[in-house]
Homo-oligomer: A and B are copies of this chain.
Amino acid sequence: MLKGILSVLLVLVTLSSAIGKPDKTTPKKEKRIPQTLSRGWGDQLIWAQTYEEALFWSRSKNKPLMVIFHLEDCPHSQALKKAFAEDKEIQKLVDDDFVILNLVYETTDKHLSPDGQYVPRILFVDPSMTVRADITGRYANRLYAYEPADMKLLLSNMQRSLKFLKTEL
């Protein structure tokens, strides 16, 4: 009789742990949308994944590198992203003449934060791997910040980085 109770108990324990397991580990995830490298900054562009990869491409293609630091849940980043992704002239120039990278985490290279680590900020790097700290936006307190209204300035800065490329290299 005791043996019988024990077996029933054992079955119950086994059952409950079998039932319990799926409950614990499957808060039924909905199907996730695969993350893209573009993160919405231009799905049609070819994005580098890491800074090392971007530097390699920049050197081997002799194209300047544009690094965009941003955060997914920062409204300023989101607004700039929208303007950047919708600006056909910028998207075309990037596609033709730039290596492009967007990062939500800082790199270990301090040269990429000449006046601090904030988002959004955009830095240009020459194929010689020199960070172009001289190419800045319009804000004195955050030299590498851009707003949606600054697309023309960003475009002219992109052209500047290409111009230097031709005259200096």
Q: Which residues of A contact B (CB under 8 A)?
A: 25, 29, 31-32, 34-38, 43-44, 46-47, 49-53, 56, 96, 103-108
Contact = CB atoms under 8 A, between A and B. Distances in A.
B49 A96 contact: no
23 contacts: A25-B96, A31-B44, A32-B43, A32-B46, A34-B37, A34-B38, A35-B37, A35-B38, A35-B46, A35-B47, A36-B36, A36-B37, A37-B49, A49-B49, A49-B50, A49-B103, A49-B104, A49-B105, A50-B51, A50-B105, A52-B105, A53-B104, A53-B105
A131 B141 CA distance: 40
A109 to B, nearest CB: 9
Most buried by B among A32, A35, A37, A108: A35
Count of this chain's copies in the oligomeric assembly: 2
A157 to B, nearest CB: 21
Contacts of A50: 49-51, 103, 105, 107
Nearest to A48: B105
Contacts of A46: 32, 35
Contacts of A103: 49-50
B106 A52 contact: yes
Nearest to A95: B29
Given A53-B104, A96-B25, A103-B49, A34 B32 contact: no
